[in-house]
């Protein structure tokens, strides 16, 4: 028996294929569309998860949200999103009730280092926010994050299911931690700020070791990588900690297009085959999708229009067959399940499979009836065509 996506008989999921698709639910704790932060008419986590299950999704990427200093309760501004402890446990529980696997991003927001005031850093910014390699950076100042990993496991290990849950350490550190030097591919060591990168790598390895010590059965993924040519980082992740279960990648429509146009490695036409062969590892894609509207100056809006929605489906038609065909791809998660109408830009706010046409964001928070306006894009029905009930649990 086969599962068929939409009306395309060439895109099939064979019975027993150990593959799960799902989505990023970034609104778990920190987006107003989750119902927190005063948006009392917003959809709830249950609403989002029920729609994901309706579409056939089987996995969710959740964000752990301590405050930047690692406070697991996270009740004091700035910024505060409510009690992270209660919200996070609630989200994991609701996923497990629906037999959804959880890929949990452990340290998206937490600082790995305290602020350092120096002559080179007069604004007292975190070293990670600077595109430089300050001599004042000391390994001892990063110990707090490893301690955070220990605290996290002490508190949340009891809620994790090793058969369903995966911990990923960090998110695109080459970009968000400014490890990679500007205008480089990231393939070799000298294309990174070496002092900062060496310390980060030791740091990440220690976090992974503490997770494994606390729960040897839990599956661990490498920090998420933008999957272009950051080979040096990937090499080091795997060399420094041999117990990573998955190589963790992101892959967007502009990357797929560039690869198809020959702007990657010579002769490569399938990113999944390239990385599974190069590293001999199972893969998870914790982010993939058509880029949001206006990305790179594209004239593809509005979000409700045929152009944007057709592009999203076209991207799925291109990448889903590759995910499914390669048995080493175990998870693929769409970034993200709902659009963020309160996002900082049209691009960042329009990635969703669910969106909110007609929402007036100028209204007071408690009058923005997002729940009533939430609607599926055409891609929702395309995804719903996947008959994937025969997958290996």
Question: Between 103 and 45, whose confidence is greater?
Answer: 103
Q: Indicate the pLDDT class of residue 119, thresholds 50, 70 and 90.
A: low
Angstrom distances, CA of residue 247 to CA of 282, 328, 383:
6, 10, 25
Domain that holds residue 193: 16-384
Decide if 1 is inside a domain: no
**pLDDT (tens digit, 9 = 90+) per residue, 58-71?**
999 998 766 656 66
pLDDT value of residue 212:
96
Angstrom distances, CA of residue 244 to CA of 166, 206, 217, 334:
10, 13, 12, 22
Decide if 269 is inside a domain: yes
pLDDT value of residue 186:
94
Decide if 98 is inside a domain: yes
| Rounded-to-10 torsion of CA 345, 348, 353, 358 | -10
Residue 174 has pLDDT above 50, yes or no: yes
Decide if 6 is inside a domain: no
Question: Between 25 and 220, whose confidence is greater?
Answer: 220
Decide if 72 is inside a domain: yes
Residue 114 has pLDDT above 70, yes or no: no
Decide if 177 is inside a domain: yes
Q: What is the mean pLDDT of residues 94-120?
A: 74
Residue 118 has pLDDT above 80, yes or no: no
**pLDDT (tens digit, 9 = 90+) per residue, 207-256?**
899 999 999 999 999 999 999 999 999 999 999 999 999 999 999 999 99
**pLDDT (tens digit, 9 = 90+) per residue, 318-356?**
999 999 999 999 999 999 999 988 877 889 889 999 999
User: In DSSP terms, which residues pair with 101 in a beta bridge?
Assistant: 59
CATH code assigned at 312: 3.20.20.80
Residues 6+ apart with CB under 8 A from 317: 6, 8, 11
Q: Indicate the pLDDT class of residue 78, thresholds 50, 70 and 90.
A: very low
Angstrom distances, CA of residue 386 to CA of 53, 67, 161, 212, 326:
12, 38, 26, 35, 17
Residue 257 has pLDDT above 90, yes or no: yes
Decide if 393 is inside a domain: no
Decide if 111 is inside a domain: yes
Angstrom distances, CA of residue 112 to CA of 140, 196, 212, 343:
11, 11, 20, 25
User: In DSSP terms, which residues pair with 224 in a beta bridge?
Assistant: 171
pLDDT value of residue 363:
94
Q: Where are the alpha helices (DSSP H) in 22-83?
A: 45-55
CB 58 within 8 A of CB 100: yes
pLDDT value of residue 3:
39
Residue 287 has pLDDT above 60, yes or no: yes
Supply the mean pLDDT for the chain.
84
Query: What is the rounded distance in angstroms from the CA atom of residue 3 to the CA atom of residue 55?
Result: 13
Residue 7 has pLDDT above 50, yes or no: no
Structural domains of the chain, count: 1
Share of residues in the chain with pLDDT > 70 (%):
79
Q: Indicate the pLDDT class of residue 385, thresholds 50, 70 and 90.
A: confident
């Amino acid at each position: 028996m086969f599962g068929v996506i939409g009306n395309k008989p060439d895109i099939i999921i064979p019975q027993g294929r150990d593959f799960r698709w799902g989505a990023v639910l970034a609104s778990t704790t920190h987006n107003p569309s989750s119902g927190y932060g005063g948006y009392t008419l917003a959809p709830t986590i249950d609403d989002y998860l029920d729609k994901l299950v309706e579409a056939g999704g089987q996995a969710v990427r959740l964000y752990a949200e301590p405050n930047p200093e690692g406070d697991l309760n996270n009740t004091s501004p700035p910024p505060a999103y409510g009690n992270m402890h209660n919200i996070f446990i609630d989200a994991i529980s609701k996923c497990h009730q629906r037999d959804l696997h959880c890929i949990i991003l452990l340290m998206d927001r937490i600082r790995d280092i305290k602020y350092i005031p120096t002559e080179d850093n007069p604004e007292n910014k975190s070293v990670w926010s600077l595109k430089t390699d300050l001599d004042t950076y000391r390994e001892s100042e990063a110990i707090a994050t490893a301690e955070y990993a220990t605290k996290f496991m002490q508190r949340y290990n009891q809620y994790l299911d090793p058969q369903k849950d995966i911990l990923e350490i960090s998110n695109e550190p080459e970009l968000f931690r400014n490890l990679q030097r500007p205008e480089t591919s990231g393939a070799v060591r000298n294309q990174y700020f070496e002092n900062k990168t060496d310390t980060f790598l030791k740091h990440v390895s220690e976090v992974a070791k503490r997770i494994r010590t606390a729960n040897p059965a839990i599956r661990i993924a490498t920090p998420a990588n933008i999957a272009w040519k950051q080979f040096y980082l990937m090499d080091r992740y795997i060399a420094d900690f041999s117990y990573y279960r998955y190589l963790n990648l992101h892959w967007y429509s502009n990357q797929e297009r560039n690869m198809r146009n020959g702007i990657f490695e010579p002769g490569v036409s399938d990113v999944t085959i390239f990385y599974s062969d190069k590293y001999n590892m199972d893969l998870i894609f914790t982010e993939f999708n058509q880029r949001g509207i206006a990305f790179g100056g594209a004239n593809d809006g509005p979000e409700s229009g045929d152009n944007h929605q057709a592009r999203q489906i076209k991207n799925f038609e291109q990448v889903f067959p590759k995910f499914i065909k390669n048995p080493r791809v175990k998870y693929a998660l769409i970034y993200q399940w709902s659009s963020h109408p309160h996002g900082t830009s049209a691009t960042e706010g329009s990635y969703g499979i669910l969106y909110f046409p007609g929402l007036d964001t100028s209204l007071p928070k408690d009058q923005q009836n997002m729940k009533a306006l939430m609607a599926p894009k055409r891609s929702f029905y395309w995804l719903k065509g996947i008959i994937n009930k025969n997958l290996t649990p």
